Amino acid sequence: MWAAQLVRTGSLTISENGEFSDWKLYYPNTVPKPLEMLISFLRLPGSVFFHSLLTMTIAGLTLAAAQAAAGPSGKETALFLGFNPAFILLSLKGNPAIPFLLGMFMAQTAKAETSGAVIASLARPEGFIYGGWKGLKNWKLTALLFLSAAVWLTFHKVSCNSFNWASEEVRYSVSAMAYPTVNSFTLLPWAFLRSIMVLGAPGAALFYYGFKKWKLAAPFSLNFILLTISLAMGSLVLPRYIDQLFLLAAPLIFFELRKIYSGKALKMAICAILLFPAFQWTYTAEEISNSLSLREFYSRFQFPSQGITAANELLIPGMALAGGISNPGLYYVSTDRAAWEGATEAELKEMGVSKVVVVPFGIYYPEHTEQFIQSLTDTEVEYFQKHQ
So what's the pLDDT on residue 387? 57
Q: Reduced to 3 states, what is the DSSP secondary structure of residue 185?
A: coil
Segments in 12-126 forming alpha helices (H)? 34-43, 48-70, 74-82, 85-92, 97-106, 113-123
Inter-residue contact 12 to 165 (CB < 8 Å): no
In this structure, which amino acid lies at residue 208?
Answer: Y
First to last CA, the chain: 29
Distance separating alpha carbons of residues 144 and 134, to the nearest angstrom: 12
What Å distances lie between residue 247 and 212, 224, 230, CA to CA?
Answer: 17, 15, 22
**Residue segments in the chain with a per-residue pLDDT below the cut of 70:** 29, 386-388
H/E element, 175: helix 165-176
Inter-residue contact 382 to 376 (CB < 8 Å): no
Distance separating alpha carbons of residues 377 and 373, to the nearest angstrom: 9
DSSP string computed for 294-352: HHHHHHH----SSSEEEE-TTTHHHHHHHTT-S-GGGTEEEHHHHHHTT--HHHHHHHT
Distance separating alpha carbons of residues 117 and 130, to the nearest angstrom: 7
So what's the pLDDT on residue 223? 96
The model's pLDDT over 194-229, given as tens digits with 9 standing for 90+, comes to: 999 999 999 999 999 999 999 999 999 999 999 999
| Burial (0-12, 13-18, 19+ Cβ within 10 Å), 108 | buried
Inter-residue contact 43 to 56 (CB < 8 Å): no
